[in-house]
Homo-oligomer: A and B are copies of this chain.
Amino acid sequence: MNILITNDDGIRADGIIELAKTVATIANVYVIAPETQKSATGHAITIHNPIMVNEEFIQENIKAYSISGTPADCVKVGIEALLKDVKIDLVLSGINNGPNLGEDVIYSGTVSAAIEGFIQKKPSIAFSYDEFNVSKEVYLKAADYAVELVNNMKDKLHLLDDCVLNVNIPNKEVKGYKITKLGTREYENDVIERVNPHGKKYLWIGGRMKETKQEEDSDVKAVNDGYISITPVNIDMTCRKKIDILKNEKLL
């Protein structure tokens, strides 16, 4: 198998390095990642600027590049340009530094890279770890789960023809895995106002998560309970149940 690996934390993040090295034991691995931290970039792509490309070294049997673009750019330019002579069988994104659960998915560069893989008609899986700034050893253990999932999926990649998998690995003893739906995430006191040394106002988006009630089959609940959460995610955002309701209203 030829596997393209990307992330949103950048080429030097432990999560992608451990994932790439581990997956390289079972497949040909190509890494294309942002040259710097690009988390929370959603599905941004770079169209108003050129994207610079740098060759990188991870280990001998891994072809690696960093680019000046976003996670979605990595997959797009990987499949359409840098690796256009390679038949990529699978796109993996991660392992992300921190979870991507519930509405986080909207903001997540990690998940957006997997969704770009889907748009490029490639089976795609996003991996995130439910804690920030953990050690290489922790990522290595998480990468073993990623390889196990890839091994189990490799004869049924057709299951990913209408969705990507969003996988979150708990930061506690793993009890097993659950197929979940996206839960609810809410943040409060998000935006901090400050004044810079030159007297100019600036804002900084921060915020802490609110406790929210979770349904039994949500990704948030599964990870909190010690299960690896696997959520099928697609890109058809049409709110179908509203179509007939809106048809009965005079809007224009």
Q: Which A residues fall within an 8 A CB radius of B?
A: 37, 39-48, 50-53, 67, 70, 72-73, 76-77, 80-82, 103, 105-107, 112, 115, 119, 145, 148-149, 152-153, 156, 159, 162-163, 176-177, 179, 181-182, 190-191, 193-194, 196, 200-206, 228, 230-243, 245-247, 249-252
Given contacts A202-B51, A237-B237, contact A80 B45 (CB under 8 A): no
User: Which of B81, B105, B112, B239 is close to A163, meaning CB atoms less than 8 Å apart?
Assistant: B239
Docked-complex contact A77 and B202, CB < 8 angstroms: no
A177–B247 Cα distance when bound, in Å, is 10
- Give 4 closest A-B pairs by Cβ, nearest first: A42-B43, A163-B239, A42-B42, A232-B242
A77–B204 Cα distance when bound, in Å, is 9
User: Which of B41, B42, B159, B251 is close to A242, meaning CB atoms less than 8 Å apart?
Assistant: B159
* Smallest CB separation, A203 vs chain B (Å): 4
Beyond the given pairs A148-B252, A230-B252, A232-B239, 20 more chain A to chain B contacts, judged by CB atoms under 8 angstroms and listed by A's residue number, are: A37-B48, A40-B47, A40-B48, A42-B42, A42-B43, A42-B45, A44-B44, A50-B194, A51-B203, A51-B205, A53-B203, A72-B107, A76-B191, A105-B237, A106-B237, A152-B251, A163-B239, A176-B252, A179-B243, A234-B237
Given contacts A50-B202, A77-B203, A230-B246, contact A252 B181 (CB under 8 A): no
User: Which of B41, B119, B177 is close to A103, meaning CB atoms less than 8 Å apart?
Assistant: B119
Docked-complex contact A47 and B39, CB < 8 angstroms: yes
A210–B77 Cα distance when bound, in Å, is 18
* Smallest CB separation, A48 vs chain B (Å): 6
Docked-complex contact A233 and B238, CB < 8 angstroms: yes
A52–B204 Cα distance when bound, in Å, is 9
* A67 neighbours in B (Cβ, 8 Å): 203
Given contacts A48-B37, A249-B156, contact A119 B106 (CB under 8 A): yes
* A40 neighbours in B (Cβ, 8 Å): 44-48
> Could you write out 29 A-B pairs with CB less than 8 Å apart?
A37-B48, A39-B48, A40-B44, A40-B45, A40-B46, A40-B48, A42-B44, A42-B45, A42-B112, A45-B107, A50-B202, A52-B201, A67-B203, A76-B191, A76-B205, A81-B193, A105-B237, A106-B237, A152-B252, A159-B249, A179-B247, A182-B236, A182-B238, A230-B246, A232-B239, A232-B242, A233-B238, A234-B238, A237-B237
